[in-house]
């Protein structure tokens, strides 16, 4: 079903997230400057895409446009070649306009959650009207969404949204395994998820917590792309806290080479993912720099 691949692997680094704390990992980047440095190190290590959440300096979850602008500006100044993917996820009770405010920065990519899910004791709410509204705004601005799928039902929603023209080809899906409340990180689940994607869809996989390494290895073998980073785990291995985001990226680069795959440069990733096709034809004017 899956032939060995020699295609470059696109590595996304999720440098901060919204739940990891300094108590879990003292090197978690929180301020825009720290995020700029972490992004630069991750790209130097082999990452092409930087997935971005922002925080207050005290570590509190944040989604203000001002904080996003600061962080995007730092990343662009320190790692100008990087593809920046902002998160449209927001805290419970925050409206669709607030969670989509970061789109005004017109980064090349953003995340888009296609369905709701229970994560531990939290309801991660993504109503169908909100998904449709966010998707329309994303495409209006010429941004390319990565579609986050935490369960099989999300994949079915993705397929249905594509049929209705709400999501447009080429699709880019992030398959999230091992989160409490979502699909488990059983190897058979990743195989099944990939088999349910529409033909021609690009995909990346991430394992949450202790599953980050095993899911990364399976994705490499299956010819997919990989996401790592301190958003998804505070550890390098059991009992050993990760020194940095770059350390997690470097491990995937080493493993990929052992399997005959090199890490894609940001320029290669843009070509593979067909980024900027709609951006170039977009008639919407807006800021392109933070």
Average pLDDT over residues 281-286: 42
95 phi and psi angles, rounded to 5 deg: -70, 170
- Please name the residue that has the structure tokens 């004791």: 121
* Planar angle of CA 49, 158, 203, nearest 5 degrees: 35
Q: Which residue has the higher pLDDT, 190 or 3?
A: 190
- Please name the residue that has the structure tokens 């949450």: 208
Residue 269 CA to residue 227 CA, distance in Å, equals 13
pLDDT in the model for residue 155: 96
pLDDT in the model for residue 107: 98
Q: Are 246 and 45 spatial neighbours (Cβ–Cβ below 8 Å)?
A: yes
pLDDT in the model for residue 189: 98
pLDDT in the model for residue 290: 34
Residue 62: which of 86, 36, 42 has the closest Cα?
86
- On the question of pLDDT at 84 being above 60, the answer is yes
- On the question of pLDDT at 281 being above 60, the answer is no
Q: What are the pLDDT digits (tens) for 228-277? A: 999 999 999 999 999 999 999 999 999 999 999 999 999 999 999 999 76
Residue 13: which of 244, 220, 223 has the closest Cα?
244
pLDDT in the model for residue 286: 41
117-119 vs 122-124, strand pairing mode:
antiparallel
Q: What are the pLDDT digits (tens) for 7-64? A: 999 999 999 999 999 999 999 999 999 999 999 999 999 999 999 999 998 999 899 9
Q: How confident is the model at residue 89 (pLDDT cuts 50, 70, 90)?
A: confident
Q: How confident is the model at residue 147 (pLDDT cuts 50, 70, 90)?
A: very high
Q: Are 71 and 36 spatial neighbours (Cβ–Cβ below 8 Å)?
A: yes
pLDDT in the model for residue 288: 38
Q: CA dihedral in degrees (20, 11, 184, 222; nearest 10)? A: -170
Of the CATH numbers 3.20.20.70, 3.10.420.10, 3.90.1200.10, 3.40.50.300, which one belongs to the domain with range 11-281?
3.20.20.70
Tell me what percent of the residues of the chain surpass a pLDDT of 70: 92
What ranges make up the beta strands (E) of 94-161?
Answer: 109-113, 117-119, 122-124, 144-149
253 phi and psi angles, rounded to 5 deg: -60, -45
Average pLDDT over residues 121-140: 92
Residue 50 CA to residue 249 CA, distance in Å, equals 11
**pTM for this model (two decimals):** 0.93
């Amino acid at each position: 079903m899956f032939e060995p691949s020699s295609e470059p692997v696109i590595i996304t680094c999720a440098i901060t997230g919204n739940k990891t704390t300094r108590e879990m990992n003292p090197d978690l980047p929180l301020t825009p400057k720290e995020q700029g440095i972490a992004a630069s190190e991750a790209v130097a290590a082999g990452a092409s895409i930087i997935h971005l959440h922002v925080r207050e300096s005290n570590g509190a979850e944040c989604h203000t446009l001002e904080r996003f602008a600061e962080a995007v500006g730092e990343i662009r100044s320190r790692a100008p070649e990087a593809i920046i993917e902002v998160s449209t996820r927001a805290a419970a009770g925050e409206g669709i306009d607030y969670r989509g405010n970061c789109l005004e920065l017109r980064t090349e990519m953003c995340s888009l959650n296609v369905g709701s899910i229970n994560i531990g004791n939290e309801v991660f709410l993504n109503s169908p009207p909100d998904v449709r509204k966010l998707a329309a705004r994303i495409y209006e601005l010429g941004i390319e969404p990565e579609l986050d799928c935490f369960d099989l039902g999300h994949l079915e929603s993705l397929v249905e949204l594509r049929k209705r023209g709400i999501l447009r080809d080429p699709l880019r899906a992030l398959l999230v395994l091992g989160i409490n409340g979502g699909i488990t990180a059983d190897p058979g689940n990743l195989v099944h998820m990939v088999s349910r994607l529409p033909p021609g869809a690009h995909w990346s996989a991430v394992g949450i917590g202790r599953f980050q390494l095993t899911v990364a290895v399976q994705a490499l073998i299956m010819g997919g792309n990989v996401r790592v980073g301190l958003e998804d785990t505070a550890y390098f291995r059991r009992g050993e806290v990760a020194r940095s985001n770059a350390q997690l990226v470097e491990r995937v680069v080493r493993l990929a080479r052992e399997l005959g795959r090199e890490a894609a440069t940001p320029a290669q990733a843009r070509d593979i993912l067909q980024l900027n096709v709609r951006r170039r034809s977009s008639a919407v004017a807006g800021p392109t720099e933070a």
